[in-house]
Amino acid sequence: MPEHLSAFLAAFLFFPKMNDMNMFPCEPACHPEEDTDVRRALEEAGWRYTRQRAAVLAYLRTACGHPTAEQVFAAVRRRLPHISLATVYKALEALVDARLANRIAGDHGPTRYDGRSEPHYHLRCQHSGEVLDLPLPYDPTLLDKLDPQLVKMLRQQGFEITGHRLELVGRFVCPDKPN
């Protein structure tokens, strides 16, 4: 097993589980240039910049793992007590639309959200539903490595590939818990 992956898995086993993810691990720093970029991205996507959307994005960028909308709501509500769940859903929609965040849908369980907008890979636990980033560099040539003819074959069928996602699916086997 590659050293960086075994280090990740070792760290994950000691990673504190955040079942409700209802806290900001750290207070987001105020960076005016980042604020301007967020404002610009939202406006280019046809959305207004609001403090609620900024708070949702700040939480997503500092959250451990990839929270559900309800977990985002619980966390952001600590900073903005009058925010509604509907506003959080609308903020998440705007952030995904502006490509500031990603929606991670799974076969089972609620949709989760990712504050990292750049391409990267995930690990999903089928038992808990938790989704984590894999510590692997994104490889834009991965499809060519899997099958050198795949892109060409799909293009001939009229399908244009615009990117790819990789998610490892499984479960953590804990000797203390029944599976």
Tally Cβ neighbours within 10 Å of residue 20: 11
Q: Which amino acid is at 158?
A: G
Residues contacting residue 77 through CB under 8 Å, at least 6 positions apart: 83
pLDDT digits (tens, 9 = 90+) for 35-91: 899 999 999 999 999 999 999 999 999 998 899 999 999 999 999 999 999 999 999
pLDDT value, residue 177: 60
Residue 29 has pLDDT above 80, yes or no: no
Q: What CATH class has 13-116? A: mainly alpha
| Domain ranges within the chain, ordered by starting residue | 13-116, 118-172
**CATH superfamily of the 118-172 domain:** Ferric-uptake regulator, C-terminal dimerisarion domain (3.30.1490.190)
pLDDT tens digits for range 103-147: 998 777 789 999 988 889 999 888 888 888 898 899 999 998 999
pLDDT of residue 26 exceeding 80, the answer is: no
> Is residue 23 over pLDDT 50?
no
| Residue predicted with more confidence, 151 or 18 | 151
Query: What's the pLDDT at 32?
Result: 52
pLDDT, position 22: 33
**For residue 165, what pLDDT is reported?**
86
- CA 27, 33, 34, 39: dihedral to nearest 10 degrees? 120
pLDDT for residue 178: 60
Q: Is a pLDDT exceeding 60 seen at residue 158?
A: yes
- φ/ψ of residue 154, rounded to 5: -65, -40
Task: Output the six-digit token pair for 115.
Answer: 């504050």
